[in-house]
Amino acid sequence: MKPYELWEHLELRDMAIKHIKRLKTERNLEERWIALIIEMFASNEWNPINDYNGCTIVQDTKHPSLACLPHDYMWISGHGGTMADRIFYNLMIMQGVSKGRSMRRWLLVRTGWYGFYMWKYIFSKKFMPPTKAMIALDKYFKAKEYYE
Res 148: pLDDT: 45
Once rounded to an integer, what is the mean pLDDT over residues 124-138?
85
CA distance 65 to 31: 17
The continuous run of DSSP H or E covering 10 comes out as helix 9-22
Give residue-wise pLDDT tens across range 76-113: 888 878 899 999 999 989 988 889 988 988 888 888 76
Res 118: pLDDT: 64
Please enumerate in sequence order all residues whose Cβ is within 8 A of that of 37, keeping only pairs 6 or more positions apart, or say none. Answer: 13, 16, 17, 20, 69, 70
Measured in residues, the chain has a length of: 148
Give residue-wise pLDDT tens across range 9-56: 888 899 889 989 998 889 999 999 999 999 999 999 888 888 776 666
Q: Where are the domains of the chain?
A: 9-144
Residue 132 has pLDDT above 90, yes or no: yes
| Angle CA 19–20–26, to nearest 5 | 150
